[in-house]
Amino acid sequence: MLWNTLLLALRAIRRNLMRSFLTVLGIVIGVAAVITMVTLGNGATRSVSDQISGMGSNLLMVLPGQRFGPGAEAAPAFKSADLDAVRTQISGIERVAPVANKTATAVFQASNWSTVITGSNSDYFPAGNWVLAAGRSFSETEERAGKAVCVIGDTVREKLFGRQNPVGSEIRIKQFACEVIGLLKPKGQSAMGQDQDDIVVMPLRTVQRRLTGSQDITRLIVSVKNGASIDAVKQQLILLLRERRNIGENQDDDFRVMDTRQIAETLTSTTRILTMLLGAVAAVSLLVGGIGIMNIMLVSVTERTREIGIRLAIGALEREVLLQFLIEAVVLSSLGGLIGIAIATAASIALAGAMNVPYMFDAGINLLSFLFSAAIGVIFGYFPARRAAGLNPIDALRHE
Amino acid sequence: MTGTTPLIRLTGITKTYGRGQATFQALKGIDLAIETGDFVAIMGPSGSGKSTAMNVLGCLDTPTSGRYEFKGVRVEALSRNQRALLRRRYLGFVFQGFNLLARTTALENVELPLIYRGERAGTRHAAARAALEQVGLKGWEHHTPAELSGGQQQRVAIARAIVTRPAVLLADEPTGNLDTRTSEEIMNLIGTFNREQGITVLMVTHEPDMAAYARRIVRFLDGRVDSDRRSVEAA
């Protein structure tokens, strides 16, 4: 009975090629959209968290103020003295790198390039996972004296020097000349889409004296010694900074100490929300596809009711008719689901490549959208048939 | 008549449609016996209950009360499935509107009842081709209903009805949608199956010309059997 019913179902599919095609198409589009969106979103989230974990798990970021963005209260920046205090009074830290930024134009011969000048020390490179491609880092003397030396990123090298070796050349920034002593290996785009290689690093004192004209430090990067407790260092930092910034007992901190896990959470939560949004939009298309299927099935219900009447009249059992319709619905919707999965896989791999995010196969979403599409097909293909097959054959035959 | 049990015996069959105030009694107590091999035309004006009687006889509809014996079996006591199996095993249908499956070839339409009987593909094809040849449609096996004339479609329907070698062929206004010449061809075909294969034919018609092919004419009037006589011409 099963074999014969399968034959009948396949014949019915072939007989109504257009209807079958539209049914499959509705499911294909919905399934492909949902899977592609969610897969790409997952890839983006992964890419963000990868880059952050690339920073190392033993880093602490110390920032003035409690919040980013608009509405953030103006909290005083850190001073050079804070850096020394942290370095000398807190146990369990390996490195402390200050950061002071200033945008400026760098000039070499006929080329110029506007970039961000970062003032820091030699700890900045290991703490930020930077590797030197050529040349060297700052010496202690250069840092203390505020010498005009700099280490440049790959983008700056490309814009100013082209194919030339930059190490040993002098670039001009504002009114002073600065010797390039090192070149950093490229890192590529950051999680937020910025070019990380668009960077010029100088000793902190050089930047403070010649560019910012103040003692301000906009943030501190602290790396914790292996084996030392990150939380303990964090607590010490908070206590020290509260004291140095004269924060009273009942006042809130006017600075933040974030570890990489918190930074990762902040950033990945953004991409996760985006993934959910994209998934929701795609889910609407799956729903619309489902409504399309429902429409097709309901329009054909008159014809199919008569067909059921004919089949019953010439001796089909009710359960044979139902099984046939169930097989039809399952074949069409799983075909649509499988094609949708195939298209989604191809599209996700292609788009992930184009967007420079990893392709991450998500079995859950594949299974979920497949089951959903199968359910739509079965509900809208099978239940109208169930009603018709329960009629007296003569009523089904006379259905108008 | 003969002393044996008739093929079909209806006793006091009634059929009421609707509920409460708006009921309509289509059959008001039918008694009818039909012998194997007979060719019976059921006539009567519209609303006389002839089609309802036909649907009850074909197990497409159930009577409200009364007793329906088919080969001595009480049909009104059978379940839905048992009635479907009775149709599958013993009955063949020809309708006024042909009722072929659309976009399906003549061969596949004729094969359909054999598929439900579980016949093997080889047997099925051979039987369907033979049936189509018997109704004069050799060479038209792969045409769909839309590509066939009305007469040809009715021939396909007849082939589908007789391919299972049923005991009874039930024809409801089989020539209602056809012109006179085609109607005669169809009636001759039905007559041939009746004579040569001994298939009992029950036919509803309102055309006296078509009823003339039958050996027995039962007239319905207002839900009752009005007259029942042997045809002079065709006997």
Q: What is the CATH number of the domain that holds B52?
A: 3.40.50.300
> Which carries the bigger pLDDT value, residue B3 or residue B179?
B179
Give the C-alpha separation, A284 to A364, whole Å: 18
Total count of domains within chain B: 1
| A78-82, A228-232, A371-375, B135-139: which is most confident | B135-139
CB atoms B115 and A8 under 8 Å: yes
**Is-contact B94 B161, C-beta < 8 A?**
yes
Mean of all residue pLDDT scores within chain A: 87
- Categorize the per-residue pLDDT at A49 as very low, low, confident or very high, splitting at 50, 70 and 90: confident
* B1 — pLDDT class (breaks 50, 70, 90): very low
Residue B155 clears pLDDT 90, i.e. is over it:
yes
Give the residue on B whose Cα is nearest the Cα of A308: B101
In a domain, residue B135? The reply is yes
Smallest CA–CA distance from B105 into chain A, residue = A15
Weakest-pLDDT range from A56-60, A325-329, B44-48: A56-60
pLDDT average, residue stretch B189-209: 94
For residue B204, is it within any domain? yes
Report how far residue A90's alpha carbon sits from residue A82's, in angstroms, rounded to the nearest whole number: 11
Q: Cβ contact (<8 Å) for A15 and B103?
A: yes
CB contact at 8 A, B52 and B17: no
Over residues A301-315, the mean pLDDT reads: 88
Q: Is the pLDDT of residue B3 over 80?
A: no
Read off the pLDDT of residues A53-69 as tens digits, 9 standing for 90 and up: 666 668 888 988 876 55
SS3 content of chain B, % helix, strand, coil (to 5): 35, 25, 35
- Would the CB atoms of B102 and A303 count as touching at under 8 Å? yes
Verify whether the Cβ–Cβ distance A307 to B85 is below 8 Å. no
Give the per-residue pLDDT at A72: 53
Alpha helices in B121-207 (DSSP H): 121-134, 150-162, 180-197
For residue B33, the one-letter residue type is: A
Alpha-carbon gap, residue B189 to B233, rounded angstroms = 18
Q: Categorize the per-residue pLDDT at B59 as very low, low, confident or very high, splitting at 50, 70 and 90.
A: very high
By Cβ distance, the residue of A7, A15, A317 closest to B115 is A7
Which residues in chain A have Cβ-Cβ distances shorter than 8 Å to B106? none
Percent of chain A scored above 70 by pLDDT? 96
Contact B99 A309 (CB under 8 A): yes
Say whether pLDDT at A336 is over 80: yes
Q: What are the domain boundaries of chain A?
A: 2-51+266-397, 94-224
- Name the pLDDT band for A150 (thresholds 50, 70, 90): very high
pLDDT recorded at residue A54: 67
* B88 touching A (Cβ < 8 Å): yes
Residue B53 has pLDDT above 70, yes or no: yes
The pLDDT value given to residue A285:
83
* Nearest 10 degrees: Cα torsion A319, A322, A328, A332: -130
Q: Which of A303, A320, A397 sits opposite B116 (nearest CB)?
A: A320
Check whether A70 has a pLDDT greater than 60.
no
The distance of B114 to chain A (nearest Cα, Å) reads 9
**Number of Cα atoms under 13 Å in the Cβ half of residue A113:** 22
pLDDT of residue A69: 52
- DSSP H helices in chain A: 2-15, 17-53, 80-89, 124-127, 140-145, 154-161, 204-207, 230-244, 260-299, 301-313, 318-355, 363-389, 393-397
B201 in a domain, yes or no? yes
With CA atoms as reference, the chain A residue closest to B83 would be A315
Nearest C-alpha of chain B: how many angstroms from A33? 34
CB contact under 8 A, A315 and B87: yes
Residue B22 domain flag: no
Rounded CA separation A78/A391 (Å): 83
Angle between helices B80-90 and A318-355 (to 10 degrees): 100
Q: What pLDDT is recorded for position B87?
A: 95
Side-chain-facing half-sphere of A23: CA atoms under 13 Å: 30
Contact between B104 and A314 using a beta-carbon 8 Å cutoff = no
Separation of first and last alpha carbons in chain B: 15
Q: Which residue in B101, B113, B117 is closest to A307 by CB distance?
A: B101
Chain A residue closest to B103 (CA)?
A15
Distance from CA of B2 to the nearest CA of A (A): 31
Residue in B59, B93, B96, B116 to test binding to A, most A beta-carbons within 10 Å: B116
Q: Are A176 and A144 in contact (CB under 8 A)?
A: no
Q: Does residue B13 have a pLDDT over 90? A: yes
Counting one residue from chain A and one from chain B, the pairs whose CB atoms sit within 8 A come to: 72
Distance between A3 CA and the closest CA of chain B, angstroms? 9
Residue A73, pLDDT score: 60
Whether residue B94 contacts residue B174, with contact meaning beta carbons closer than 8 Å, is answered with: yes
In this structure, is residue B16 part of a structural domain? no
Shortest CA gap A368–chain B (Å): 36
pLDDT of residue A256: 87
Whether residue A320 and residue B89 make contact (CB cut-off 8 A), yes or no, is: no
This model of the complex carries an ipTM of 0.93
Q: For residues A354-364, give the mean pLDDT.
A: 87
**Cβ <8 Å between B116 and A16:** no
Please report which helix (H) or strand (E) contains residue B30, including its range: strand B24-34
Residue A221 has pLDDT above 80, yes or no: yes
- Mean pLDDT across the stretch B92-101? 93
The tally of CA atoms less than 13 A away on the side-chain side of residue A327 is 19
Considering only CB atoms, A314 lies closest to which of B80, B108, B112, namely B112
User: What tens digit of pLDDT does each residue of A270-292 get?
Assistant: 888 888 898 888 888 888 888 87
pLDDT at B232: 62
Q: Is residue A33 scored above 50 in pLDDT?
A: yes
Q: How confident is the model at residue A269 (pLDDT cuts 50, 70, 90)?
A: confident
- HEC-encoded secondary structure of B101-144: CCCCCHHHHHHHHHHHCCCCHHHHHHHHHHHHHHCCCCCCCCCC
Q: Which range scores top for mean pLDDT: A211-225, A373-387, B128-142?
A: B128-142
Provide the chain B residues 155-184 that lie in CB contact (below 8 A) with chain A: 160, 164
- B75: in domain: no
Residues of A with CB under 8 A from a CB of B: 1, 4, 7-8, 11, 15-16, 303, 306-307, 309-320, 392-394, 397
Of B55, B81, B160, the CB nearest to A318: B81
Residue A179: CB partners within 8 Å, gap ≥ 6?
Answer: A148, A149, A150, A168, A169, A170
Confidence check: pLDDT of A1 > 80:
no
pLDDT at residue B199, as a whole number:
95
From the CA of B113, how many Å to the nearest CA of chain A?
A: 6
Using an 8 Å CB-CB cutoff, list chain B residues near A393. 60-61
The verdict on a CB contact (< 8 Å) between B99 and A310 is yes
Predicted local confidence at residue A9, as pLDDT: 87
B116 within some domain: yes
Window from A162-166, A346-350, A381-385, B64-68 with minimum mean pLDDT = A381-385
Q: Which residue in chain B has the smallest CA separation from A18? A: B103
- Residue A279: what pLDDT? 86
- Whole-angstrom Cα distance, residue B48 to residue B224? 8
Domain that holds residue B171: 36-59+83-230
The stretch B152-164 carries a mean pLDDT of 96
